[in-house]
Structure 1
Amino acid sequence: MGVVTVLMLLTQPAVAPADFAAGRTATIFATIDRSEWCPAGNVRLDLVTGRFALTSGASRDVCQTKDLQRPVRDGQLDEAQLGALRTAYSHARELGLTLCADGKRPDRIVFSNGGPSILVLTNGAQTTAAPDDLACWTDAAIGLDRTLQQTFGTAPRRVAPKTP
């Protein structure tokens, strides 16, 4: 985990354990391994249990293969990884995901050649999605995205083409 991310997470308020108690709902769906040339990967994470379903992005040498199939890997995060993501999720829930409201835009421009960035948060009360325009993402949304990329973006990217 990067030093900046660790420092950011240390300055955040403690996560309320009740938010992630058994029987509660707290999930994230997000793109990872975004690429200008190839389909992004994605992850679905249950923040209550730490269980995830991960589809890695394809490496450039196989991503244009007709009928490419990318396997889904199921797993469970360790306590440290889960704690960091719970903190980032709670922060994003509290501060929101979007800066752009009432036609106002932030004083920044974000350039990306990595394809669409998707970040969706769900709890028992609501589902919230980050806007398509990356310039409108809050710092909390960006922090959660970075934590997700650091946690899941190191997955093996080599995907074999589908065999007949």
Structure 2
Amino acid sequence: MSTTVRGIEEIRNQTGADLGHSSWVEITQPRVDTFADATDDHQWIHVDPERAAAGPFGGTIAHGYLTLSLLIPMWSELLRVEGVSMAVNYGLNKVRFPSPVRVGSKIRTHGRVVSVEDVRGGVEAVVDLTVQIDGVDKPACVAQAVYRFYA
């Protein structure tokens, strides 16, 4: 599901909007390994399938920050903004990782616009994002993201 808005005024009208879900993204061991190389985080629970099989999660898991970084492509599926000069990820108000993402799982995000406020030259949207794991009740990540859109 994707919502498309055009311009600042239409973004303002999204306050309270349920943006639905992104498509599913599979978490593979090569993706986890590549992230480990990029961040120098080679903890065995992420990169050693043999050792991790006997560990607390029964296999390797994605880094929490890998899950968080995948919000970028998943978010872009939820809200398409046209007619602005620039959009920026302004940051996060809060982030939690309630459940590990096992390698081989699929994740997707659900979004809801909490608020849209005027800022100099545009608007700031605060969005609640919940990363779901296919077949798991507890979310992988709960984050409140802040985006700015400029006219």
What TM-score, normalized by structure 1, do the two folds share? 0.24
Q: Which has the higher strand share?
A: 2
